[in-house]
Structure 1
Amino acid sequence: MTSILITGASSGIGRATAEAFLAEGWTVGLVARRAERLREIAAGQGKAIPLPADVSDPGAMQAAFDQFIGEAGRLDVLFNNAGIFGPSASPDEVRVEDFDQVMAVNLRGMFIAARLAFAQMRRQSPQGGRIINNGSISAHVPRENSICYTTSKHAVTGLTRSLSLDGRAFDIACGQIDIGNAESELVADLKARQPDMQTMDVADAARSVLHMAQLPLSANVQFMTVMATRMPYIGRG
């Protein structure tokens, strides 16, 4: 496997993952809305392909996939990473529009990318590939005042399971990485409100994605949890 498309590639976990794969010699498609960030990452990297697009826009994502396949020849791995946290508020204080926005990126966007990747992997020769969805610790247990994000990430787990099941016939493996408190822009916003928050280097999350992607298609990490060791996840009441 030598080609990967990464959504949410302009910062945080997505950027760190892109840099890790480029260092290993992979052809890397960089999908995000901020074109200038993508060009910055791709500068001097012959195997980096900037693909500015909004993951919730089916037409833009189709164009991004078409360009990537045109240049890379095939798609071995999709890292379905793009996501936003949304408002941190009591459920009754969350606007419906804000809930919809989180669902549009975290769930609709992830489905759009997975759908396009599945179609490509099903028809390419040799057939098959791997889809890695970025879940979250919030796919298991919520933070306070995180109803939008938590709902979306629980749904991602259902998406992962369905893709894994439906992909068997086509040699398409699907797994999910649930990352806790990697030092991304999203976590930085939370840490500003909780200065004692335990975090880990975002590069550790990226190396975990690389491990999942480098497995042969005969093996699959179905679910992986990687988090700051002292994060209060295990044992919280």
Structure 2
Amino acid sequence: MNNENGQSDRATEATRSHKGTEARRIALVTGAGSGIGRAAAQRLLRDGFTVVVAGRRAEPLDDFVTEAHASGGEALAVTADVRDEASVDALFATIEETYGRLDVVFNNAGINAPAVPMDELSVEKWRDVIDTNLTGVFLCARAAFRLMRRQSPQGGRIINNGSISAHAPRPFSSPYTASKHAVLGLTKSIALDGRAFNIVASQIDIGNALTELSARMQKGVLQANGTTATEPMCDVADIAGAVSYVANLPLSTNVLNMTVMASNMPFVGRG
């Protein structure tokens, strides 16, 4: 159950007892209800982070908090829509009020559009993808930047979930590919603008991680030559490990861009 601010009631009581205690590392994961987001949140929890999980569905977030507390970890669930400025601002206000700072954000929330020729794609579907994958990353990165800039000690790490689509498209993927190309430029801009404030930015480009949503790819994926073929998949735990590696680096060191993918998927080479 969540209160009117989107914060889990169980998590509210748990986190109150931690105010005023010794410094701890706080991480936020968006789109944390399932898939890559949930796996990354679980890994950061094991790394010793206090993890704020955000998403549009309250139930899986609350389940994560329950599991975290059962294992001795600390977590906070906040329902939020990354496409909505007010919702994002409320999310970060809750983080600041509860913990006073934020050390890492993994901007993971994202969606795709139907794989159809461009002339069959509605503007509504285009906007849904751009609003979530690009504007959502911007809104969360902007709010994180604002908090990291003024907190003491100053600084923090912003990690964006990119895609190999930030470098090469699949057939009929114009909104998704455009959004991920744009996130790559945004990541570089954040990394540059953050230098004066000890804020670093990274992008992890992910290819064929096996989740509930991507399992369909095992039945066949449209290729550049017009055929349909099955593709190798990689374990989502390995993606979480990559997020963990970047998140745990000192702020004096950064991985600006990392590609983690199934080794034999059709990305390198001619398709």
TM-score, normalised via structure 1 length: 0.96
Q: Answer whether contact 1:85 1:186 (CA < 8 A) is retained.
A: no
**Moved beyond 6 Å, runs of 4+:** none
| Structure 1: segments with no counterpart, 5+ residues | none
Q: Name the counterpart of 2:174.
A: 147
Cα pair 1:76 1:128 within 8 Å, conserved: yes
Deviation of the 1:190 alpha carbon: 3.8
Deviations 1:196-232, CA, capped at 9 Å, x for gaps: 2210110100000000010000000000000001111
> What do residues 155-210 of structure 1 show as CA deviations (whole Å, max 9, x unaligned)?
00010011010000000000100000001233224444437221011010000000
Letter in 2 for 1:18: A
Query: What SS class does the counterpart of residue 131 from structure 2 fall into?
Result: helix
Separation of aligned partners in 2, 1:191 and 1:84: 19
Residue aligning to 2:197:
170
Whether 2:58 is the aligned partner of 1:35: answer yes
Partner in structure 1 of residue 40 of structure 2: 17
Structure number with greater Rg is 2
How many angstroms apart in 2 are the aligned matches of 1:225 and 1:133?
A: 12
The letter of the residue matching 1:67 is T
Q: Hey, what's the Cα distance between the residues in 2 that align with 1:186 and 1:210?
A: 22
- The residue number in structure 2 matching 1:76 is 103
Change (3 A) 1:62 1:69: same
The alignment partner of 1:141 has SS state of coil
Equivalent pairs counted in the alignment come to 237
* CA RMSD in angstroms, aligned pairs only: 1.3
The one-letter code of the counterpart of 1:213 is A
Gaps of 5+ in 2: 1-23, 222-228
- Looking at structure 2, the residues matched to 52 and 189 of structure 1 have their Cα atoms a distance apart, in angstroms, of 28
Q: 1:55 aligns with which of 68, 82, 90?
A: 82
Contact 1:4 1:28 in 2 (8 A): yes
Distance 1:90 1:193 in 2: 18
Offset at residue 63 of structure 1 (A)? 1.0
Retained in 2: the 8 A contact 1:84–1:102? yes
CA separation in 2, counterparts of 1:44 and 1:73?
Answer: 24
The 2-side partners of 1:191 and 1:145 are apart by 18
| Alpha-carbon distance between aligned partners in 1 of 2:247 and 2:67, rounded to the nearest angstrom | 24
- How far did 1:3 drift? 1.0
Give SS of 2:189's match. helix
30, 39, 44: which one aligns with 1:7: 30
Distance 1:11 1:189 in 2: 16
**How many angstroms does 1:27 deviate by?**
0.5
